Amino acid sequence: MSTQIKSTNITWHEGSVTRAQREKLLNQKGVTVWMTGLSASGKSTIAVIAEQMLLHQNKHAYRLDGDNIRHGLNKNLGFTAEDRAENIRRIGEVARLFTDAGVIAITSFISPYKKDREAVRASMKPGEFIEVYVNVTVEGAEKRDPKGLYKKARAALAAGKGMGFTGIDDPYEAPEKPEITIETESTSAEEAAKQIVAYLDKGGYLKA
Amino acid sequence: MSTQIKSTNITWHEGSVTRAQREKLLNQKGVTVWMTGLSASGKSTIAVIAEQMLLHQNKHAYRLDGDNIRHGLNKNLGFTAEDRAENIRRIGEVARLFTDAGVIAITSFISPYKKDREAVRASMKPGEFIEVYVNVTVEGAEKRDPKGLYKKARAALAAGKGMGFTGIDDPYEAPEKPEITIETESTSAEEAAKQIVAYLDKGGYLKA
C-alpha cells in the first residue's frame, strides 16, 4: 500500500479500489436481497419486476437464480442434504461478492432451511442481507403450480418414490424475522416489487 | 414473458432486465480480464492499478483474487488436482456472472493449467474472455519472491516434501495465444496496466 507509481499527471497507489469508491460510482450501496419461499410462491416474478424498477431508477441490480446458477457454478451439485447446503452456501458467497462490488444482488431460490440462510446472513455485515419471505401456503402454491412440479411430486410420493420436494415431502422453514414479508395471496407481484424497492429506498441503499 | 402488469404510468413486463440494458446503464461492456502467471509475476499489482485506471474513467471493475475467493467461495477446496481444477472452474463461473452483469471482472490467479483456462474461455462468448499472460521466468519470479514462497517451496523440496508449487515442482503451462502478453521483467506495473486498459478501450469495452 505504500509504493506509489507516478505517471505524468496521476499518482496510482498500490491500494485496491475501495467498496466506497465503487458505490460512489454507482450511486447506490451494495446489498443482497434474498428471496425465500416455496416453489410457485412468485419469487422470480417479483424479483424480475423489482430489477426492472431499479433499472428505471438507474440502479444496478443483478439477479441470481436457477437459470444462471444451476447449470453453471452449481452444476456439480445434486440433491443430497450436503449438496443442498453447499448450493445455498455458494450462492451466498457469490451474492456477497456482488454486494462487495456495490451491486444490488437479488437471489431467488427456495432456500428452505433456516440454518443455511442464517449462515449467509452471518457471512455479511449488518444491513447487507435483506431477507424477503415470499409467504404462500402449500395449498396456494399447489393451486398455481405453473410448471406442474407439485403434481409430479404428489405422483412420486403416491408411487412411493419421494422426491424430497419442499412443501410436499421436505420441510420449508419460514424465516422468523425476515426484513420483508410478502403475502403472495393478497399482494400483486408489482405491489410486492414496490415493497422491496421502497425498503431499499428508505434504507438508503439507492444512494451512495 | 407475455403478461404485462400495468401501473398508473409505467408498464412492467415479466421479462428480465437484459444484459444490454445493464451495459447501457454502466456505459461499458461486461468482460473478463483473466490474468495468469507465476506467483510473484506481478499479476495482482497490475490488476489493482488497472482497476484504479478504470475507476478513473468511471468504469465499474471488480477484482476476484485469493483474498476474496479463497476464504469464501472456495474455502472448502484443497490442493489435489481435482480441487485445483474446481477452484478455477468456480472462479470462471463467478467471472462469467460478473461479465453477464456488465462488470469488468479482473481475475488474478496463477491458473497454471491450459485446460482449466481454456474451459473458462469456452464457457464464455467470443470476446468476453481476455487472457492476460503475465510472463516472468521462474528465476525472475524467484528473485522477487516478496512473500518468501519460493524459498519455502525450495526448502520443502530439498527436505523431500514437495508442495506442488507452480514453477518449482508443479508445471506452469503458458498460454499459447493470450490476448495480451506482459513482459514483467521489462515493463512497469503501470505500463502493464495501461496496456490492459488500452486493449479494453480499443476493443470497445469501455462504452456500451
Q: Where are the domains of chain A?
A: 17-202
Q: How many residues does chain A have?
A: 208
Among candidate residues B204, B192, B205, B150, the one with its CA nearest the CA of residue B172? B150
Among candidate residues A95, A125, A152, A201, the one with its CA nearest the CA of residue B72? A95
- How big is the A-B interface in CB pairs under 8 Å? 113
Q: Cα(A28)–Cα(A121) distance, rounded to whole angstroms?
A: 20
One-letter amino acid of B141: A
Please give the sequence-ordered ranges of beta strands (E in DSSP) within B50-142, or none if there are none.
61-65, 104-108, 129-135
3-class secondary-structure state, position B170: strand
Helix runs in A101-188, H state only: 114-123, 138-144, 149-158
- DSSP assignments along A89-120, one per residue: HHHHHHHHHHHHTT-EEEEE-----HHHHHHH
Count helices and strands (H / E) in chain B: 8, 7
Inform me whether the pLDDT recorded for A7 exceeds 60: no
B188 in active site: no
Q: Does B10 touch chain A (CB under 8 A)?
A: yes
What are the two backbone dihedrals, phi and then psi, of residue B135, each rounded to the nearest 5 degrees?
Answer: -90, 120
* B90-98 mean pLDDT: 98
**Is the CB of residue A59 less than 8 Å from the CB of residue B26?**
no
Inform me whether the pLDDT recorded for B5 exceeds 50: no
What are the two backbone dihedrals, phi and then psi, of residue A60, each rounded to the nearest 5 degrees?
Answer: -95, 105
Question: Tell me: the pLDDT tens digits for B172-206?
Answer: 999 999 999 999 999 999 999 999 999 999 999 99
Q: Does A4 touch chain B (CB under 8 A)?
A: no
3-class secondary-structure state, position B148: coil
3-class secondary-structure state, position A63: strand
Please give the pLDDT value at position B163: 85
Nearest CB among A5, A21, A102 relative to B188 is that of: A5
Question: Tell me: the pLDDT tens digits for A104-139?
Answer: 999 999 999 999 999 999 999 999 999 999 999 999
| DSSP helix, strand, coil percent of chain A (3-state; round to 5) | 45, 15, 40
**A17-202 CATH:** 3.40.50.300
Q: Cα(B48)–Cα(B116) distance, rounded to whole angstroms?
A: 24
Q: In this complex, do A93 and B72 lie within 8 Å of one another by their Cβ atoms?
A: yes
ipTM of the complex: 0.93
Superfamily covering domain B18-138+172-202: P-loop containing nucleotide triphosphate hydrolases (3.40.50.300)
Give me B82's grid cell: 481435482
Question: Tell me: the pLDDT tens digits for A169-204?
Answer: 999 999 999 999 999 999 999 999 999 999 999 999
Q: Cα(B184)–Cα(B186) distance, rounded to whole angstroms?
A: 6
Residue B27 banded pLDDT, cuts 50, 70, 90: very high
Closest Cα in chain A to B48: A16
Question: Tell me: the pLDDT tens digits for A12-69?
Answer: 665 789 999 999 999 999 999 999 999 999 999 999 999 999 999 999 999 999 989 9
Q: Cα(A106)–Cα(B155) distance, rounded to whole angstroms?
A: 48
Q: Does A52 touch chain B (CB under 8 A)?
A: yes
What are the two backbone dihedrals, phi and then psi, of residue B188, each rounded to the nearest 5 degrees?
Answer: -75, 160
Q: Cα(B31)–Cα(B33) distance, rounded to whole angstroms?
A: 7
Residue whose cell numbers read 460478473: B98
Q: In this complex, do B48 and A14 lie within 8 Å of one another by their Cβ atoms?
A: yes
Chain B, 127 to 186: residues with Cβ < 8 Å from chain A are: none
Q: In this complex, do B62 and A101 lie within 8 Å of one another by their Cβ atoms?
A: yes
Please give the pLDDT value at position B67: 87
3-class secondary-structure state, position A184: helix
Q: Cα(A118)–Cα(A129) distance, rounded to whole angstroms?
A: 10
Please give the pLDDT value at position A13: 61
pTM: 0.94
* B135-153 mean pLDDT: 95
Question: Tell me: the pLDDT tens digits for A138-158?
Answer: 999 999 999 999 999 999 999
Nearest CB among A7, A25, A53 relative to B60 is that of: A25
